[in-house]
Structure 1
Amino acid sequence: MTERLSCGLCVIGAGSGGLSVAAAAAQMGVKTVLIERGAMGGDCLNTGCVPSKALIAAAKAAHAVRTAGRFGVVFPSGGGHEPAVDFAAVHAHVRGAIAAIAPHDSQERFEGLGVRVIRASARFTGPGTVEAGGVEVRARRFVLATGSRAAVPPIPGLDSVPFLTNETLFERTAAPEHLIVLGGGPIGVEMAQAFRRLGCRVTLVEKQTLLPRDDPELVEVVRRRLDAEGVTLVEGVGVAAVQRAGNGVAAVLDDGRRVEGSDLLVAAGRRPNVEDLDLDAAGIEAHRGGIATDKRLRTTNPRVYAVGDVTGGPAFTHVAGYHAGLVVRNALFRLPAREDYAALPWVTYSDPELAQVGSTEAEARAAYGNIEVLRQPFAANDRARAEGGTEGLVKLLAHRGRVVGASIVGAQAGEQIALWCLAVATRAKLSTLAGLVLPYPTLSEAGKRAAGNAFTPTLFGARTRTLVRILSWLG
C-alpha cells in the first residue's frame, strides 16, 4: 500500500450511474473518489447505447436509399436502389459517435471537477475501506456502479467457437456474411435488423417469443417488419448445441434443425459485475441477480449504496441515471427517496420503434381488473400518411378515466412516449389529454386521438344528438 485516502464519497464504476453520482457530489463540495478499471463511460458509451444507435442510424440510411423509389426518388441510368455499404466507413461512423461523446465522460473532465480518479480494480477490505491500484480509500459512503456484461448461456460447444457480444460486435470493420443472433430481446432485435439492412443475411433464434416483455399486439408489428425485410425468425425453440461449420459456426436447435452462419452474436441478457469486489469483506449481500438493495438503494451495509445494472433491476441507462438521483438525495441530503418504477419507460430501437411506459395490457388487467383499452392507428394520422410510415398504433390503458399505461409502435415512438411518461407518472385524466392543442401535422396527434376515443361513443351518441336537437329548438 503506497497511499491512503479519506473522502466523503467513493464511487466504484464510471458508467452512467457512477459518473452522475460523482459529478453531483463533487460539484456540491463533497470530497469524491471515482474508481474505474475499464473505459470511462462504461457500457453505454463504449459498447452499448451509443455504438448501437450509431450503427442503427447507418442501417436506416441504407434502408432509406433502398426504399427511396416509393417516394418517386429514382437513380439515373437504371442503377437501382441497392446501396453499396462500406462497412469500414460504417465502423468509423460508430467510433466517431463514441469519440464525440467521450470527453463528457473523460477522466480529465472529472478531475477538473475535483474528483480523484483511480484507474484500477477495486475490492473491499472492510465495511468502510476499499483498495484499488495500491491506494486504500476510506469513505463515509460508497456507491457501487459496476454495471453488467453480456450473459453467456451454458450452451454445449459455445466455449469452443468464436462468438460476438455487444462488447466485441462494434469492433468489426468487415460485415458478417450471415449473422446468427441468439436472443430476441431488444439488443437481438435491433442488431438483427441493422445488420440485415447493411446487407448481411441474418437469422434470429429466440427460445421463447420475440420481445417477451412488451405487448404482444405491438410486437407483432415489429415481427412483420423484420420478416418483410428478410430477417429469418426462429421462435419458440432453443439451441441445443453450437458447433464449428467450416470457417463459420452452426447452431443445432432443440428440434434437430441446424442453422449455419459465418458469425454468431450472443444477445441473451445481462449479468451484473459483482466478482472481484470482495463483497463479503464489507458485509454486502449479493445473489445471482445482482446486489441486494432496499427501496432507497442501500445494500446490507448501510454505508454502501448500489445503482444501475449491478442491482439486478431494469438494465437501462436511464434507470442508472434515475438511481443516481435517488442516491444523491439519500446519501448526501439524508432524504428518504425511494425507487418507484410505476412510470418506467423503455424503447426498442427497431424500425418501427416500440416504446412502453407503465403497465402493459396484461399487467393492467391483473392490477386493476376493469380497464379501458384505447387504440389509434398511424394509418389515420396525416403526418404518417405524408411520410409513408403508417405502420403501427398508439395503445392507451386507462382505469377510472386515468392513464396507467401506454404502448406505441411506429416511427419515432421513443420520442412520442415522453408525453405518456408524464401522463402515467401524474395519473393524468384522459379528458385532459384529449383536450390538448397539438401542432398539426404531427405523429403525436395519434396519442391525443387515442385519448379522445374514450369519449367518442358518448359525444356522438343518441343522448347527445337529442340534447343538441333540444337546444336548437330553443333558438
Structure 2
Amino acid sequence: SNRRDAVAVGQVMLAEGIFHHVLREHQFEDAKLFYQFTEGHGEKVTKDGSKVSWSDFIKPVTKETEDSLLPAMPASAATPEIDFNISEQLAPLDEHNLRLLDSVHPSAWQDPKAKPKYHMVVIGAGTGGLVTAAGSAGVGARVAMIEKNLLGGDCLNYGCVPSKALISAAKAYYAVTNQKSLTDMGITVEGASVDFGKVMERLRRLRADIAHNDSAERFASKLGVDVYLGHAKFLDKNTVEVNGQKLTFARCTIATGGSPRLPDVSGIKELFEAYHKKEEGAPTIVTNESIFNLTELPPRFGAIGNGAIGLEIAQSMTRFGSETTVFGRGGRIMGKEDADIAKILQDQMASEGTKFELGVEKYVSLKKTGRTNGS
C-alpha cells in the first residue's frame, strides 16, 4: 500500500530470482537503478542438476588414447540439436578444449525468447561485440548478442591469448639456451629441452581457464545480455533473424571481424584441404587460427607474410628449434612500421636463426616434394 511495502515485495522477488540488477551489484532499492526479469534461457541441465557439457557427447582425448588427437564426431542425426561443426574448429579435443567450448559455445544452449524490441543488437561476439554488449547492458539497455562460432572471437581463441602463451614459452626456452648471454653472466645450463606437446597443452589450459570471462553463461546470467548462438540474417533495416526468431532493434552493431584468407597460390588450397582432412602424407599447412591446434613441432616452418603475426610465430618456432624461413615482399619486414625498428627486429631474429626471403615478386605455386616429415 506504500513505497516501503513495494520495496519489501521487490526484495522478495529478487531473492527468488524473478528479476535482478543488470550488473548484479545491488539489492532491490527505491532508487534510479536498472533491473531486468530473469529469462528462462541459457545452458541446459541434466536431471541431477549438472550442466550439459561437450564431454557428454565427445570423450576427451589423452596422450594414452590419441590417434589423430581429433576423434570422429558423433552422428548428427542422433543429436540434431548439437552443432558438431563448431567443435571441429579446435584440436585436439582434450579436456581443455572441451572446457573452452563449454564456455564459448555451449553444446545445448537455449536461445531466449526474443523481446518485443531491443535497444541494441550486436552481431559478432569478439572483442568489439563483447564490449559493446556489456557496455550497453550496463547502462540499462535491452541487448541481444548473436554469434555463430566461438564467443571471444580472435583474441581469446586464435589471437592475443594463445599467441602470448606460445611466445612466453618460447622466450623462456630461449633464455635458458642462449649460452652466450648466460656465459656472460656466469651461468651454465645443460640438458635443456623443449616438449612442444606440453607447451601447446599449457596454451590450451590457460585459454580455457580464462574463457569464462567471455562465456555465454556470464553474459546471459551476470550481464543481462540475451545471447543467441546462430547465424544472423537481416530482414530489413530494423530486424534480424536468428534460429527462426525475429529480433527488432533500434540500433545494431556489426562486429563480425575477419577470417584468414589463403594466398592466391597454385596448389595451396588442395594441400591445405588435404592436411585438414588428415590425408596421409599431407604437409602441415595452417593459418594464424589453426596453428594453435598443432601438437608436434614442425622440423621446418615457413611463414608467408612478414607482419606482426607472421613474425611472432616465426620467432617462436625458431626458438623452439624449427628451421624457419619468413617469406615476404618489398625487401623488408614490417612494411608499415619504422624502418629502423624493423631492421633491429630482423637482425635479432636472424641472429637467432630465422632466415628471410623478402624479395618475393609473386608466389607461383606450392607443391609437395618428397617426404614432408610434418613440415
Task: Confirm or deny a common fold (TM above 0.5).
Answer: yes
CA deviations 1:393-418 (Å, max 9, x no partner) are xxxxxxxxxxxxxxxxxxxxxxxxxx
Q: Contact conserved, 1:37 with 1:119, CA < 8 A, in 2?
A: yes
| 2:199 alignment partner AA | V
1:219 to 342, 346, 368: 342
1:200 to 289, 314, 322: 322
Q: Contact conserved, 1:9 with 1:30, CA < 8 A, in 2?
A: yes
| 2:369 alignment partner AA | A
Q: Contact conserved, 1:9 with 1:140, CA < 8 A, in 2?
A: yes
The offset of 1:262, in angstroms, is 4.4
2-structure distance, mates of 1:206, 1:66: 29
Taking the TM superposition and a 5 Å limit, the aligned residue runs for 1:218-297 are 218-237=341-360, 238-248=362-372, 262-263=374-375
Q: Contact conserved, 2:304 with 2:328, CA < 8 A, in 1?
A: yes
1:169 to 276, 286, 291: 291
Greater per-residue strand proportion: 1
The offset of 1:144, in angstroms, is 0.3
2-structure distance, mates of 1:8, 1:239: 48
Unaligned runs of 5+ in 2: 1-111, 273-284
Unaligned runs of 5+ in 1: 249-260, 264-475
State whether structure 2 residue 175 is matched by structure 1 residue 64. yes
2-structure distance, mates of 1:69, 1:176: 29
Residue of structure 2 in register with 1:428 after alignment = none
2:224 to 106, 109, 114: 114
1-structure distance, mates of 2:255, 2:244: 21
2-structure distance, mates of 1:243, 1:160: 10
**RMSD, aligned CA:** 1.6
The offset of 1:124, in angstroms, is 0.7
Residue range with higher mean Cα deviation, 10-19 or 62-71:
62-71
State whether structure 2 residue 155 is matched by structure 1 residue 41. no
SS of residue paired to 2:167: helix
The offset of 1:222, in angstroms, is 0.6
Residue of structure 1 in register with 2:188 after alignment = 74
2-structure distance, mates of 1:32, 1:219: 43
1-structure distance, mates of 2:163, 2:267: 28
The offset of 1:246, in angstroms, is 2.7
Aligned length, in residue pairs: 245
1-structure distance, mates of 2:114, 2:346: 56
State whether structure 2 residue 214 is matched by structure 1 residue 90. no
Residue of structure 2 in register with 1:148 after alignment = 258
1-structure distance, mates of 2:239, 2:289: 31
2-structure distance, mates of 1:155, 1:24: 43
1-structure distance, mates of 2:306, 2:370: 26
Between the two structures, name the one with larger relative contact order (CA 8 Å, sep ≥ 6): 2
| Structure 1 runs of 4+ with >4 Å offset | none
State whether structure 2 residue 237 is matched by structure 1 residue 123. no
Q: Contact conserved, 2:165 with 2:203, CA < 8 A, in 1?
A: yes
Taking the TM superposition and a 5 Å limit, the aligned residue runs for 1:367-386 are none
1-structure distance, mates of 2:213, 2:311: 29
SS of residue paired to 1:192: helix
2-structure distance, mates of 1:114, 1:247: 54
2-structure distance, mates of 1:73, 1:149: 45
Residue of structure 1 in register with 2:211 after alignment = 102
Distance 1:247 1:118, change over 3 A: farther
Q: Contact conserved, 2:262 with 2:269, CA < 8 A, in 1?
A: no
CA deviations 1:98-143 (Å, max 9, x no partner) are 1222111111110121111000011111111111112111100000
Residue of structure 1 in register with 2:165 after alignment = 54
